[in-house]
Every structure is written in C-alpha cells, then in structure tokens.
Structure 1
Amino acid sequence: MLVIDGWSAGFLSSYGTAWLETPALNQLAAQSILVEHATVETLNLDQLYRSWFRAAHPLAPEDGFDLAAQLAQVGVPLHLLTDEALLRDAAGSFGLASAEFLPCSEPQITEHEDETELARIFALVCDWLDSDGGDELIWAHARGMAGAWDAPLDYRRSLAEDEDPEPPTYATPPSSRPEGKIEPDELLGLSQAYGGQVLLIDTLLEELLATIGALPVDRQPLLIITSSGGIPLGLHRQIGRDAALPLALFSNLTQTPLMLRLPGAAQGLTRVQSLASSSDLPATLLAWFAAPQPTRAADAARSLLLLDLPPRDRTLCATGDDLYLRTISWGARVSSDGKCQLFGKPDDRWDVNDVANRCQQITPLAIELAQQTRDAIQQGAPLPELPKELTQGLA
C-alpha cells in the first residue's frame, strides 16, 4: 500500500492529462485496475488514518474495530513506513506490528532523484520486495507533494517551453489564498514545480515495477497506489495546504488516483467507472487476506477487487464544516452555512462551472442529501435514499 499525500488525479495521463509524459505510471495503469472516481473521505490526515485503521468512514461512530489486529489474527502483520510525523498519534492507537518514522530535514532541491524524500520511501519498499517474509502488509505513506518539492530542477525545466520564464526554485510548497487574479506566470511555475514532482514519482516507480516484475508471479504482491488528497494549485483561488489557511473542498482535492496491481498484472487494463471511497481500501485489504470484515448494521464499504458488487451511489468527503457530496451525475460542495456550489459530472471534472443557480430543483436536493448522509454516517444508520434527480445529469 503506497499513499502519496498531495497527489491529485489531475496530474496523470491515465486520468486525462496530456502534457506530462509518465511512461511508468502509464505502465502501472495498463497493468492495474484503475478506479476513475475515487474520493478521499476527509483531508484531515490524522482523521483519515484513524478511519483507515478502523475500516470506517471518518464520521462513523467508534466501535473498536482495528484493521491491524484483524489482519494479525490471520497471520498478517501490518507495518507502517512513513516520513509524516503527524501520523504518530494514529499509529499508536492501533495494533500495528511496527511503525517506522523517517526524519525530514529542511526542504531543499536535490542534485539527484535518489536524494529526495520520496526516493527513501521507494527504496525501502523495493528492499522489502527483495525479502521473503511471508504474508504481511507494508503501508508506506509519503509526505509527497505535502512535503519537500525537492526533485532536481531539470525535472521542472523539462516541462518549460523555450519562451517560458525560468521555472521557480522553491523547495517548500507555496501556500496562500489570493484575493485577486493570479498571474499566469505564477500558475505556470506552480504547475512546473508540481509536475516535476510527478515526474519524480514516475522515475522512482519505474524501478519499483521492475523489481515486482522480476519476481515469480506467486511472490508478487498486491500493489495499491493512491493519495490522501490533492493540493490546490490556484484553482478556486487556493494555493497549497496550510493549517492556518481555510481550505474549501473541491474535486481537485477530494478526487485521488487509485490503481490496484494484482500479481502477474491480472485484471490489467480494467477501468472502473463507478464511485469508490477511501474506506473501500481497508475492505479491499481484508478481503485480499481473507480476514473478516467489520460487522456493522450500515456500512457501504466494499472490496474494490469484487467488481461485480453493486456500486456506491454516492461518496461524502467531510473536512471541518465543509461537505463534498459526489453522485455519478453531480458534485456538490455544501458549506457550513448551507450554501451550495453544484457541478455537473463527469464532464466538469475539476468543478469549474458552478450551475447551482441554473439547477434550482437539484441544488436543494443536493444540500439535503449531503447533510442527511453526514447525519446517517455519524449515527451508524442506513443512508437516506438517493433522489432520482441526483442520478440524472444536465440535459
């Protein structure tokens, strides 16, 4: 399990981006089950990990379920490997077999990709693949785009045209909430710096895939690569994530890449168009290791490897007082004051065109469903019925 924080689905060619050449990521997509519409259920990292390790939505009531303990009962230890100190509290609350925290120094541009923060994580995962320790789960979490933007500058320069300004040289991700228009050169520099980190992921992934491919099929692991939420790069007047700055939920933050590579690349070239949520990941791991699932009266989580199961009809991301509801046809951001921004899906992938005022029959339904879904999850109750209007897109 490899989680790269801050990595948005909008920066992969397999999700529609044409300006980044990422052959290793393309190879992974071709060898994997690729989930087109995966939603993270909160952008609060501590809450997200607690929800992952208890196999539940972050808003769901506590019931004592422990993913690590459940896996240990079937002989599968769960090891956490991370460079994110914020996960210490969550890690200490569950029965992990081990938790290794890699120290981080002051962010600075490196001369070679092997010196980057991400490279340390990938190297340790590759070392683990070379060992034969039996069934176990390595859960590797990288600060990724939320950490140092430390790829060599040549990665950024490769994304610049001859007439472009020199790409920025900062290694600390910028964070601001501009009041007015953001200058085009600033947006360009942001995309180049961020894109350089995506190229770094691609370079490191090439070695990881080669290491897996060199193993006999019966020793190849299930490899899951995803993100714990994106980082805004100017869209919706938001740049970067910072605890001191407000963060409005939009799909560029809540939609994450999600690819599952089975041993021998079985079921490769499978693209799943139905909705998936972050709490489906622990359900997938429990199913993979044949461990019992939580017994809850109301739980929408399901294994992403069981492609014949009925799909989710909605996902809900909750961060602070903001809600982001997604159905197959709509995305709705509902703020704490009950106001709603509405976006037609799947065409408006990144929530550019707010149609709340044009769809005055849909908007109140979306607000009500988001709030009722939140309340039902908090109470451990069945989800409210989805109005048929929220399954039908723009005419």
Structure 2
Amino acid sequence: MTGQRGRRPRARRARGASRVGERFEVVVGPVAHGGHCVARLDGGRVVFVRHAIPGERVVVEITEGTDGDRFWRGDAVEVLQPSPDRVTPPCPYAGPGRCGGCDLQHVDLARQRTLKADVVREQLARLAGLDRDVVVEAVPGDDHGLGWRTRQRYVDLPGGGRGMRKHRSHDVVRVETCLIEAPEPAGHRALGRSFEVADGGFWQVHPGAPDALVTAVLEMLRPRSGERCLDLYAGVGLFAAFLLDAVGESGRVVAIEGDPAASALSAANCPGVEVRAGGVAEVLASAYDESFDLVVLDPPREGARRPVVEAVAARAPRAVAYVACDPAALARDLATFAELGYELRELRAFDLFPMTHHVECVALLEKSRSDLR
C-alpha cells in the first residue's frame, strides 16, 4: 500500500494549545518506521519529520501537535543543509502539503533502500531483540523506482478529474499523472504460471513481486517430495501452487484463506490443493491439528499475532517462511516464535514499493538447535 488506503488519523481531544503551523530549525535524526525521520527540538520534544533525510538541517513546520502531546508531526519545508542523497522529486505532486502517496521521492533510490534496511534492522532489534544485517533488494519491473504500481486508487473530483489524498488527511490534491502507476495493467502471473484473481482482489502491485517472493520462499523452505505443507492467508494460491509442484502427489498442501472469493479461486488455480475458507486463527483452532513439515505465513499488515503463531508452532514444522509487509508486525511475531522455540535463520527484504516507506520481507524460521536435542 502506498498511502491511499492507509489508516486515517482518529479525531482526538486537544491536549493543550495547538502548535500547528509553527516552524523550528532542527537537525534531522534517524529514519523511523512510517515514512518519516526523528528530530528533537530544544527541550527534547520529539518531532516526526517527513520530506527529510537523516543528517540534514531543515526548517520543520508542525502539521500535528499540541502542548500536551508526547510527540509532534511536521514537514521539512526548507532545507538549510541538504544531504548528498537528496534529489529533486520526479513527481510534481510530491512534497509538503501535496500528494501523500509517496514518502521518499526526495531521496536517491539507492539511499531509499538503505533507509528501509535501517527501519527493518531497528524494528527487529527493538521488538524482537535480534541484531541482523539487512539488505533491501531491488526487483525487476520498475523504471528507476517509477511505473511499477499495477493497481491504483484515485478520488473522483467534482466536475471531473481525479486526485490523491494528502498525508493523514481527507483533503485531495488534483493529479493528472501518477508516476509510480504502471503504464498498462499487468497479468496475474508468477514464474510463468497464470492465476485468476477477482476484480478488486489482492495481488501484489509490483510486477516483479510474485516471482521474487515465490522464489525466495521456495529457496528458503526447500520443500521435498512427500512433505505436508500449510499455506496460511493463502489468497488465490500463489504459494500453494508451487508448494504442490514441489511436494508432488505423495505430498499434501492445505491452503487456508479468510476471503471466500479468494479461497474459491485458489481451488481453481491450484488443482490438488486442499482449500479451506475461513479465518486462519479460527480454522487452526478446530482443524488440521496434525503435524506439518512446512508452513508459509503471508498475513495482512497487522501480522499473524500470537494465537496463529502458537497454532503454527504446535504443528511442529521443520521450517516456516513468513512473508511480511510490515517490519514491526514481523518483529513482534518473530519474538513470539522465539518464545516457542523457533529461530530466525534467514531474512531477505525486497523493494516492492519504491518511492514509499513500505518494504516486504521474507523470513525463514526453524526449530532452535536446543529444541532439536
């Protein structure tokens, strides 16, 4: 997602005098999860600053905040000492007070990826106690970070035209052309195989994503003939199809998906896979309580959460591949897996959302060595 379907800020009671519109000169600190950097005003007040790069000296204008808030939000409206990684945004609608769909158009593309790696590394350390090197990999299918979004949402404007919403706002900016939108629709294909997807149904928006994710999952899990596999949050069967190819007729693949339409399509897309429609936590609480060799987890942004993680660990798989679109949710679930005897063995991160703060990760979890004794 790139901001158009993100959560809107809740209306909240003011905690003192508003500071919106006030300006301060700050030195920008480290990048933080969510498309902004951390800065501190004199006195220690934290401000989450968009449109900035770590190390820059900027003038920040407060966009949200009152005297009683723990932190404020703001935009870098003037750059006094720019980073060498700062570039002119390719899109005329990117910047303070404009379209909220992109967070990082002002940053060199290679630096965007190191910033995303910093975020993943920080979330793993803070929420899971893990110290990991992270590299965010480019994938084929975009033009220097542009022209990759194969599905886009616009706001219809009165009298004609279309627009995009500002960051954390219902206000709309008129947009003629979105530079991250793909020039033409892409088919639903992965590694040469076609999948049927309902209108409006979920499919990765970056054209290189399906190939990259399926390849990473298969390389990590190394499925063997005859193994039993669970594909959780299976969608239309992207991973289940290739798992079944790998384990063969002597193996078994169960695909569980909460959306009935997607689940029905997974049955059509993956003949031979055992398909079950229903919430993953609910289904695992009452069915499929036997052991499985492999599990693929591809949960929504909020992550799998403890009940599902506990249910997965109870089935004692030799390996779990976790596909995550939110590094904080991933880190929280990895901490739960660690409690249950599963260690992070491998982690790959992919730049499936260039120009935005979003990043996709694939993690391999296996039984800890102490549990194997």
TM-score range normalised by the length of the shorter chain: under 0.3
Which has the larger strand fraction? 2
Q: Which has the higher helix share?
A: 1
Q: Normalised by the size of structure 2, how large is the TM-score? A: 0.25
Structure with the bigger RCO (C-alpha within 8 Å, sep 6+) is: 1
Q: Which has the larger radius of gyration?
A: 2
Tell me the TM-score normalised to structure 1 length: 0.24
